[in-house]
Chains A and B, each alone.
Chain A
């Protein structure tokens, strides 16, 4: 292979650090997300989440989406994909000592005003529809991407899974679901097996959906 493979996620990080706004808000979340506060805790998760929300609120989507939705070749499971997985500093913003049940996590999200409204937005704007060409019920990739990025910095913070195809999930699973196993599976599949969201992410990564990328803050 004579062609040097471009690492889109690395290129997005370079572009961010050459832009004063993106550079400022990037380090403003990486600092709290990587600072150990005690021997027991790797970081102050509350501060990390808040700074992540600020990053997506203040930085133009060209840069913030560029890093979150960068495209990596399917064959790449390291340099590019790992960098994309690290965008949100998962060791602090995502992982927990124990994986909660997804329905329990959803219930805890509902007790928080920001999380509740952002999760509702995500379910509306990324609703899949197999009969539509886009794969989405509301044929608007920009709204779906905005709603998804709006979840970053809430207890529902999603991240890419280590999987050959694009698959994302909040940090939870469906063990111990009891009678609610079906509901729980439906909830997780909205993240992991969502054609609308997958198409939206791929379209942004490939630059095929040149929509209007107005920075609008989710409520």
Chain B
């Protein structure tokens, strides 16, 4: 099952990166279940954490994450300075 990036229309200020501008963007993000993509590695981790064999470690299991990113985004801020954001938004998602 292919994971599709979801999108949301935001103000650049909504990103919380500290920029002051009235410009906007489409933000695409990855979200969805990855249970089917789990390997023996993930099953083992699941069992070991459950049986408390790894002390306090909790290694991450398969996650829905961007496997490629959208094109860069540029905008002009309120002080007439340009900024360019890289790797800010997902293009393709996968269980990794």
Q: Is A20 an interface residue when CB atoms closer than 8 A count as contact?
A: yes
Q: Could you give, for residues 63-96 of chain B, a 1 whenever the CB lies within 8 Å of some chain A CB and a 0 otherwise?
A: 0000000011111100010101000000000000
What's the tally of chain A residues with a CB closer than 8 Å to chain B?
Answer: 20
Q: Give B15-43 as 1s and 0s: 1 = Cβ < 8 Å from A's Cβ atoms.
A: 00000001111100000000000000000
Cα A7 to Cα B22 in complex, Å, equals: 11
B71 touches A13 (CB 8 A): no
Total number of residue pairs linking A and B with CB closer than 8 Å: 49
CA distance A86 to B76 in the complex (A): 9
**A17 contacts B84, CB within 8 Å?**
no
Question: Which residues of the other chain, B, contact A20 by a CB distance below 8 angstroms?
Answer: 71
Q: How far is the CA of A26 from the CA of B71 in the complex (A)?
A: 10
**Count of chain B residues with Cβ under 8 Å from any Cβ of A?**
15
Give the distance in Å from the alpha carbon of A194 to the alpha carbon of B82 in the complex.
31
- A residues in contact with B2, CB < 8 Å: none
Interface class of chain B by DSSP: strand
* Closest beta carbon of chain B to A166's beta carbon, Å: 20
Q: Is B9 an interface residue (CB 8 A)?
A: yes
Q: What separation, in Å, do the CA atoms of A218 and B18 have in the docked complex?
A: 40
B82 with A89: CB separation less than 8 A = yes
Establish whether residues B80 and A23, one from each chain, have CB atoms under 8 Å apart when the complex forms. Answer: no
State A27–B25 Cα separation when bound (angstroms).
13
A34 at the binding interface (Cβ < 8 Å): yes
Q: Chain A's nearest CB lies how many Å from the CB of B43?
A: 39
Q: A10-B22, A10-B23 are in contact. Are A17 and B82 (CB under 8 A)?
A: no
| A37 to B76 alpha-carbon distance, docked (Å) | 21
Offer 15 A-B interface pairs, CB within 8 angstroms, sorted by A.
Answer: A14-B22, A14-B23, A17-B25, A17-B26, A17-B73, A18-B24, A18-B26, A23-B71, A24-B72, A27-B71, A27-B74, A28-B71, A28-B72, A33-B82, A86-B82
